[in-house]
Amino acid sequence: MQLTQEHEETRRNLRRFIDNEINPHVDEWEEAQVFPAHELFRKMGALGFLGLTKPEAYGGMGLDYSYAALMAETLGHIRCGAIPMAIGVQTDMATPALARFGSHEVRSQFLQPSITGEYVACLGVSEVAAGSDVASIRTTARKDGGDYVINGGKMWTTNGTQADWMCLLANTSEGAPHKTKTLICVPMKTSGITVARKLRKLGMNASDTAQIHFDDVRVPQRFRIGEEGLGFTYQMMQFQEERLWAAASAIQSLTSNIEETVAYVRERQIFGKAVLDHQVVHYRLAELKTEVECLRALTWRAVDLYLQGQDVTELASMAKLKAGRLSREIPDACLQYWGGMGFMWDNPLSRAYRDGRLASIGGGADEVMLGIIAKHMGTLPRR
């Protein structure tokens, strides 16, 4: 699709913010295994970055989804994967269903302060025994008077130790698993909520990730998002955007991996000449750059069709699958050309190698994407 002057101005402003407010602190936040979410999000909220596509009535800018994709791609300039992921949870994972289907009251209470950055949001879907298989979650929200009483737990909750509220998916009735679930806004300071532990991960270290327990947590039923029993449907609807966001967010970071590697191997000498001068190296880097451009074309084609109102589930799944695969392949291939320096913990390719591994797991594993693509192709075996 053709980006406008307004798109490019948004890109420039966000890039400037990243250079001034994020990248100078990334190493410190990686070491601390947490970043100051409230401080950073308030700054982003003041500049409008947390509400680009959200309704103007609640402080958003009311722009179309192309601006969300542009933001995701631009966040790839951040020198780690953790901060873009945490921002993406705030803007494109915990809040889309709320923005679309929430009542005025619940949007005023939870969406508006999330757009300004006053509130940090987290998403409560995955559980210990239910990751990509969303239908198998076990957390329950039982009606009692005018409240829901919530019991269960959530796992791998990004922003979980700092969040002010959670967009929670829970079972509110018995029956077919796709029709029993409801999305509920849950204030994280409610009695009965426990951050069981902060999780130590292979990568994405600057982002805090938590395991959350719910023990008779009582919240008003008016905090429900949309209709009861449609939570699974709402979650599946926003997966199109979430997976496009994941694909777009990989483009610039993978480009940077290649560019940094080119700069390094141009200077690194081996067997009397620059590593870059070996044909096997510059040919391989050319292949990798071509793969990134294919991902860019696929992702933006899907965004363009999505803006036209088309169902892009298949293309979004393809883009997410390709982004996950390249997020493993490109850092691994580039790291090899750094030699022993690439194996150092604080090397940029070492960090990309660790962070990129999540892309084939989170938001639907590669195998789930392949299943969706096969379903659209009509090649799944008959039962």
Q: Is residue 371 within 8 Å of residue 377, measured between CB atoms? A: no
> In this structure, which amino acid lies at residue 203?
G
Q: Choosing from 39, 228, 242, 259, which is the catalytic residue? A: 242
- Say how far apart CA 236 and CA 345 lie, in whole Å: 37
Instruction: Please enumerate in sequence order all residues whose Cβ is within 8 A of that of 70, keeping only pairs 6 or more positions apart, or say none.
Output: 3, 7, 10, 11, 248
Return the C-alpha torsion angle 339, 345, 350, 354, nearest 10: 140
- Say how far apart CA 55 and CA 5 lie, in whole Å: 22
3-state secondary structure of 219: strand
Assigned token pair, 122: 């987290």
Torsion region of 59: left, alpha or beta (phi above 0 gives left; psi -120 to 50 gives alpha): left
C-alpha neighbours within 13 Å on the C-beta side of residue 345: 6
Tell me if residue 242 is catalytic: yes
- Say how far apart CA 180 and CA 358 lie, in whole Å: 29
- Say how far apart CA 104 and CA 112 lie, in whole Å: 10
Q: Is residue 373 within 8 Å of residue 314, measured between CB atoms? A: yes
What's phi and psi for 142, nearest 5 deg? -95, 135
- Say how far apart CA 383 and CA 121 lie, in whole Å: 40
- Say how far apart CA 80 and CA 352 lie, in whole Å: 7
Task: Indicate which residues carry an active-site annotation.
Answer: 242
